[in-house]
């Protein structure tokens, strides 16, 4: 893997008396894939929003390629390809019009728009209005816009929600390809099989706490007899907590 790209130091987030994310630290290198694993309310989206600069941390710092969000917001954002968990596209627009709009914002060529529509399987329906798209098709379009500018960091919130098995596998291959090109990938998931198949590093999160962070291959080997990453989560985190259920 390459140099350290993302450095998170003792970052937390509170709103009033409610703590959404307790202090956590994480470093991510170029070419590394990191999975934030946990159920609803674990703090995964909060951490992603803090990395993206959408929310300000209550404490701690986030540096991306040595740059803080507060130093230069545009330069910081240029290094990120962000895919939110939920997003409503303009229903009157087609897939091609939508991706072309984001391409203009990111100073990306028309050829790149066609390339990515093909990559995510939407080239043949590029002139259909997004209002006719299924959840999985909208997810694939969101993923395409995140990849447009070949950013240093792909930041993806529950990217496999709504995807069928074929496109889950395709998603895994695409983020591996991105990592092979030196991009870092951070994605959240409640599907531990996705993290087990494609991530290098897994963070186990429960109720705003990072309970464990470790190398996925090591966890799979150590807990092979207990079911791999599911067994690791259960042994290291879920005892006394609500465990993630397979297929949830």
Tens-digit pLDDT profile for residues 209-243: 999 899 999 998 888 888 888 888 888 886 544 43
Helix (H, G, I), strand (E, B) or coil at 246: coil
**What is the phi/psi pair of residue 77, to 5°?**
-65, -35
The predicted model gives 71-83 an average pLDDT of 95
- Sheet of 59-64, strand order: 18-29, 4-15, 59-64, 67-68
pTM of the model: 0.92
Q: Across the strands, what pairs with 35?
A: 187, 202
Pairing of strands 67-68, 59-64: antiparallel
Range from 111-125, 193-207, 228-242 carrying the lowest mean pLDDT = 228-242
Q: Across the strands, what pairs with 21?
A: 13
Q: How many CB atoms lie within 10 A of CB 28?
A: 22
Q: Across the strands, what pairs with 154?
A: 81, 185
Range from 78-92, 103-117, 155-169, 184-198 carrying the lowest mean pLDDT = 78-92
Q: How many CB atoms lie within 10 A of CB 177?
A: 12
Domains, the chain, ordered by start: 4-79+152-238 (3.40.50.300), 87-150 (no CATH)
Percent of the chain whose predicted confidence (pLDDT) is above 70: 96
Q: Does the pLDDT value for residue 144 go beyond 90?
A: yes
Q: Report CA dihedral (2, 8, 9, 12) to the nearest 10 degrees.
A: -170
Residues 2-60 pLDDT 10s: 899 999 999 999 999 999 999 999 999 999 999 999 988 899 999 999 999 999 999 99
Pairing of strands 33-37, 184-189: parallel
CA angle 223, 225, 229 (to 5 degrees): 40
């Amino acid at each position: 893997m390459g140099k350290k790209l993302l450095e998170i130091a003792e970052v937390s987030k509170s709103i009033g008396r409610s703590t959404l994310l307790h202090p956590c630290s994480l470093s991510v290198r170029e070419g590394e894939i990191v999975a934030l694993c946990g159920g609803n309310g674990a703090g995964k989206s909060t951490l992603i929003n803090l990395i993206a600069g959408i929310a300000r941390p209550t404490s701690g710092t986030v540096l991306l390629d040595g740059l803080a969000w507060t130093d230069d917001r545009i330069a910081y954002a240029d290094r990120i390809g962000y895919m939110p968990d939920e997003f409503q596209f303009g229903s009157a627009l087609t897939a091609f019009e939508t991706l072309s709009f984001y391409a203009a914002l990111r100073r990306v060529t028309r050829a790149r728009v066609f390339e990515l529509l093909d990559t995510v399987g939407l080239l043949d329906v590029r002139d259909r209005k997004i209002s006719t798209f299924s959840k999985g098709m909208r997810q694939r379009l969101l993923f395409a816009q995140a990849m447009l500018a070949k950013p240093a960091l792909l930041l993806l919130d529950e990217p496999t929600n709504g995807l069928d098995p074929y496109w889950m596998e395709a998603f895994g291959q695409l983020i591996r390809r991105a990592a092979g090109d030196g991009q870092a990938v951070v994605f959240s998931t409640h599907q531990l099989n996705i993290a087990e198949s494609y991530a290098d590093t897994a963070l186990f999160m429960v109720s705003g706490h990072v309970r464990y962070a470790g190398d996925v291959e090591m966890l799979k080997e150590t807990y092979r007899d207990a079911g791999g990453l599911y067994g690791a989560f259960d042994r290291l985190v879920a005892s006394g907590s609500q465990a993630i259920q397979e297929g949830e």
